[in-house]
Amino acid sequence: MLDAGRSLGARALLQLVSAGPMSRAELARRLGLSAATTTRTVRPLIEAGLVEEQPPQESAGPGRPVRRLAVVARSVTVVGVKLTDDTLYAVLTDPRGQVLASETRPLAHTDAVRVSALIASVVTRLAERSGRRPDAVGISLGAAVVGRRTVVVASFLGWRDAPLADMVHEATGLPCTVANDVRAFAYAEAWFGAGRGRDPFGLVTLGAGIGCGTVVGGEILSGARGAAGSVGHLPVDPSGPPCEIGHPGCARALASTSGILAAAAGHLGCRAQDLSLDMLLSPRARQDDGVDGVLRRAALAAATIVGTFIAYVDPELVVVSGEGVGVVEAYREDFDAQVAALRHWAAEPVPVLTRAFEFDEWARGAGALALEAWTRVAGDR
Ligand SMILES: [Zn+2]
């Protein structure tokens, strides 16, 4: 199942956001729709003020002047929130993903009621600072989410079956959407980032966990139970150390931040909590063969996940990000060789980009999802 349902309006909006103003005919071509269906799809977006017809331009050939469609920057404002175990990151953006204001707050209490209240106060603050009234809120976190409303399990916050969207709706009075953070980030990359116009598109993230987001036909793959892209515990190297639930050499054991730090601490004879990825990635630390081996193995594990993803999906582009992206960058040759080794002999190589890691990007992803949900509602009016 595609997460967004059959939202033609959102797909049309995505095209206009990512490629800029275009004629109805061009939009129809990009969406693979008839002129009549395209007109029907765009009409509610125009009526909702989200899309406008620009003044007519003389067309190059014979016929009527062409009127291009464009997204109205001031039409909608969304707030995107990313939750980690100790911090809340929030951005306020326009429909083109321009960040108008941002806020970061420590998460002093992690129960869902107090987090909802904190989100409401941040929404108010962002509205005051930007002078724009938000229309919708999107929240992303490292958790399985069903129906874009309920957090099934978020172990890092101790939540189970938390109806977060309803709680934040109650606290803010705004429509609210909740999503897995990797999927929200993939969505932002597809709307505003490197994934624009690349379809299918994949995002692999390395950090506290290992995740994968897939965008097909402009829509993010969620899966039947909200678990698509849960690649963290796939087996990579059975001779490797076990993860916290006992899989020998799964992706998470080898390439998650905690897996890397634990393995390096074992070699260095120190405590994992005294280490950081930045410390290990310094040229000096990498002179230690043990540390070098741990990092190289992590890069190869990441490459196995990326190469496997490419084999299943044949995407136009894969982006790798997350706090562990520096490991891939430091061992890029090994990484590329492993991705190439997993490629079908007749398949074309797929470009893999690394992208610096910023929590605001994750928050912007949540904003993109809120915008998508808002567009669907506008399209139904
Ligand atoms: Zn595992």
Which pLDDT score is estimated for 359?
79
Q: Which amino acid is at 240?
A: G
Distance 254 CA to ligand 1 centre (A): 9
Distance 352 CA to ligand 1 centre (A): 25
Average pLDDT of the residues of the chain = 90
Q: Express as a percent the part of the chain with pLDDT over 70.
A: 96
Residues around ligand 1, an ion, CB closer than 5 A: 233, 243, 247, 250, 252
Distance 21 CA to ligand 1 centre (A): 46
Q: What is the DSSP string of 208-235?
A: SSEEEEEEETTEEB--TTS-TT--TT-B
Residue ranges with strand state E in the chain: 22-23, 51-53, 68-71, 78-83, 87-93, 99-106, 136-141, 144-146, 150-154, 159-162, 176-180, 201-206, 210-216, 219-220, 317-321, 352-354
pLDDT band (50, 70, 90) for residue 5:
very low
Strand partners, 353: 319
Distance 242 CA to ligand 1 centre (A): 7
Distance 133 CA to ligand 1 centre (A): 44
pLDDT at 62 over 80: no
Report the topology of domain 196-354: Nucleotidyltransferase; domain 5 (3.30.420)
pLDDT, greater one: 63 or 114: 114
Distance 261 CA to ligand 1 centre (A): 16
Respond yes or no on whether the N-terminal peptide bond of residue 175 is cis (omega within 30° of 0): no
Which pLDDT score is estimated for 320?
97
Which pLDDT score is estimated for 379?
62
Q: Express as a percent the part of the chain with pLDDT over 90.
A: 64
pLDDT at 381 over 60: no
Strand, helix or coil for residue 204:
strand
Distance 234 CA to ligand 1 centre (A): 7
> Do 277 and 326 meet the contact criterion of CB atoms below 8 Å apart?
yes
Please check whether the two domains, 78-188+360-380 and 196-354, share a CATH topology.
yes
Give the long-range contacts of residues 262-270, CB within 8 A, separation 24 or more: 263/294, 263/297, 264/290, 264/291, 264/294, 264/295, 267/291, 267/293, 267/294
Q: Which amino acid is at 326?
A: G
Distance 208 CA to ligand 1 centre (A): 13
Strand 176-180 to 136-141 pairing: parallel
- For the domain covering 78-188+360-380, report its CATH number: 3.30.420.40
- CA dihedral (186, 187, 192, 194) in degrees, to 10, reads 30
Q: How does pLDDT run across 188-239, given as a tens digit for each residue?
A: 888 888 888 888 999 999 998 899 999 987 788 888 877 889 999 999 999 9
Q: How does pLDDT run across 250-261, given as a tens digit for each residue?
A: 999 999 999 999
Domains of the chain by residue range? 8-71, 78-188+360-380, 196-354
> Do 304 and 232 meet the contact criterion of CB atoms below 8 Å apart?
no
Q: Which of 194, 196, 213, 189 is nearest to 16 (CA)?
A: 196
Return all residues near 270 (Cβ < 8 A) that are at least 6 apart. none
Give the angle subtended at the CA of 368 by the CAs of 363 and 374, to the nearest 5°.
Answer: 125
Distance 265 CA to ligand 1 centre (A): 19
How is residue 239 annotated by DSSP? Answer: T
Distance 210 CA to ligand 1 centre (A): 10
Distance 251 CA to ligand 1 centre (A): 7
Which pLDDT score is estimated for 59?
62
Integer CA distances (angstroms), 12 to 17, 54, 286, in order:
9, 16, 48
Residue ranges in 82-180 assigned as alpha helix (H): 112-130, 164-172
What architecture is domain 8-71? Orthogonal Bundle (1.10)
pLDDT band (50, 70, 90) for residue 2:
very low
